[in-house]
Every structure is written in C-alpha cells, then in structure tokens.
Amino acid sequence: MIQTSLKKEEKEKFDYLNQTSYLLRLNLNRLNFDIHAIEVNSCTIWHVTYCDTVIGTITFRTNEHDYTFCNVRLYKYLKLKNIEKFSDFVMSEYFDYDENGEPIKFNVDKFDKYFKAIVEEVFPREELVQEEDKHVININDSISRLTEYCDEFDEKFSKNTHVLDIKNLLKENERLNENLSKQKEIFENI
C-alpha cells in the first residue's frame, strides 16, 4: 500500500539508487511533491505524488557515460485532466553538460517550471481547498489510477492475487457501465 511518506530506511534506499535520485527527491520535496514506495512481491515501485494524488512512476535510465538518471513517467489519467502538452519528465534534459558529455549543472529553474505547471494545470487552487475540506475522491480518477497500476504490474506480477482482484473489479465496472449506457439508450428511445 502507499505510505503517507517515506520512512527513514526508504529515504536512504531511494537516495542511493543512482546518481540523481537524491537530487530528484530534494527538488520534488521542495515543491511539495512526495515520493512513495509500493512493495509488490519484493519489488519496490517508486511513485511521485502531490496532495495524495499519484502523478507518475519513477523510472531509471543510464546514458552512454554510465550516468544514471531518474525520470517520471506521468500517468495517463493526468492527460484526461487536460495536460496533453506535458510529456514525461526526463531528468537528463535538465542538466547542462561539459564538452565530454558529463553533467555539470542541474537547471533548477527549468525543473521548477515543469512541476509548477503540472500543479497549476491539474490542481487549481479552489480544487485543493475543496478537497482538503471535503476529502473528495473522483471515481473516474480512481479507476484510471487502478487501471494503470494493473498495467504497470501486469508484466511482472500477473499471478498476484491483488492485481487479479482489481482487474476483475475493473472488468465488472466496465461491464456495468456498458449496461448502463444501453439502458440509457432504451430509456431515451421510450
């Protein structure tokens, strides 16, 4: 399950995953984003969250100079919130490089611009206040997140009973929505 924040051991584990993990965590925390760990069959999956909403999954990539970068693969459900203009966060694009291709400086302003734009597009100020007061969760967002979790774990953990249970619930939800649509059409025709 998602933790409310990283435990000390998880922070240390994340900070030493690669050359950029500590830098990513500090910059995300500075902008009120958080990193959460989910453990599935002894495999840790790292997610970026904002106001208890999962923004994306942290992935890793090593360049030709054996320098490993953290990236954030944005979840598809965010695109439904009208931010198609955002592509995944690729950390290597936020560094300045020397003539040998080695990273020498991280562009904090560019980083801030990217993540602040996500906050402004996805979480309008009024919506944040309303959700804090009422703690409302949009069912369509929840379904989208669950679908992505299942897709994320499907390749490695297709025999995991939790994932299979969620998949069955999602299929049933889809079937019920199809029936509802058919019933609406019948009702409208009457």
Token code pair at residue 98: 């020397």
| pLDDT of 128 | 47
**pLDDT averaged per 10 residues in sequence order, the chain, 190 residues:** 64 85 92 87 84 86 86 80 73 91 91 90 60 53 72 62 76 86 85
| pLDDT of 5 | 67
Which residue type is seen at 9? E
| pLDDT of 125 | 63
| pLDDT of 115 | 92
Instruction: With beta carbons less than 8 A apart as the criterion, state whether 71 and 89 touch.
Output: yes
> Could you write out the DSSP letters of every residue in 22-86?
HHHHHHHHHTT-EEEEEEETTEEEEEEEETTEEEEEEEEEE-TTS-EEEEEEE-HHHHTTT-TT-
3-state secondary structure of 121: helix
Instruction: Give the residue among 2, 10, 121, 115 at the shortest CA–CA distance from 54.
Output: 2
φ and ψ at residue 21, rounded to 5 degrees: -65, -40
Q: Can you name the residues that pair with 43 across neighbouring β-strands?
A: 40
Instruction: With beta carbons less than 8 A apart as the criterion, state whether 90 and 103 touch.
Output: no
| pLDDT of 80 | 66
